[in-house]
Amino acid sequence: MADFGKWFSSFTEKMEQFLFYLALFFIFLLLASQALMTNDTIRYYLSRIEQLEGVPLFAAVEDGEDEHETEGAAPVTSMKKEYSLGLKIVKMVEGAELYVMLNGKSNTALSEENTVIKVEPGDLIEISGNVPGAIPVEVIVTEVQGLANPQPGEKIYTFGERDLVGWAIPE
């Protein structure tokens, strides 16, 4: 009986050690796969969902495919709609530099003249830049084409930090 006790004790110690190292291996494998998934090319090959995704409908139209080549898209060309937004600085502060940012990336510089930018549905529209002093710059939405939000006449007061104009929401 003592031999079985010793054997069982050593067996359980080895099994615990094996399971511990196995768990460490799987944790390392999980972290490595998550790090690899940050790369677009690797994620395309490792993720089955990305492989099942097709060509976006609007990209197929822009590439010149006709409606018969794109499955399930009868009148695709009529679906493409232009969306634009006009912004204008109403009250400028001397030395201020402001930029319109679309989805976190600088798009165009703002001025006291009407600045029209093209947007897509769902775009995040922000204003960023440098405004010296304690007086804010007043920016107004002058015109909107095809969007329900932001509305014409909306005012944004900014000190140069990232200030939200709105999300481009189609009508």
With H, G, I as helix, E, B as strand and everything else as coil, classify residue 157.
strand
Q: How far apart are CA 160 and CA 158, in angstroms?
A: 5
Residue range 111-146, pLDDT digits in tens: 888 889 999 888 899 999 888 888 888 888 998 888
Give pLDDT, residue 64.
Answer: 57
Q: How far apart are CA 100 and CA 117, in angstroms?
A: 9
Between residues 105 and 1, the one the model is more confident about: 105
Strands annotated E in 92-132? 97-102, 105-109, 115-119, 124-130
Give pLDDT, residue 25.
Answer: 98
Across the range 148-156, mean pLDDT stands at 89
Percent of all residues in the chain with a pLDDT value above 90, rounded to a whole number: 25
What kind of architecture, by CATH, is found in domain 81-170? Sandwich (2.60)
Residue range 5-25, pLDDT digits in tens: 899 999 999 999 999 999 999
**In the chain, domain spans:** 2-76, 81-170
Give pLDDT, residue 30.
Answer: 95
Among 72, 102, 66, CA closest to 87: 102
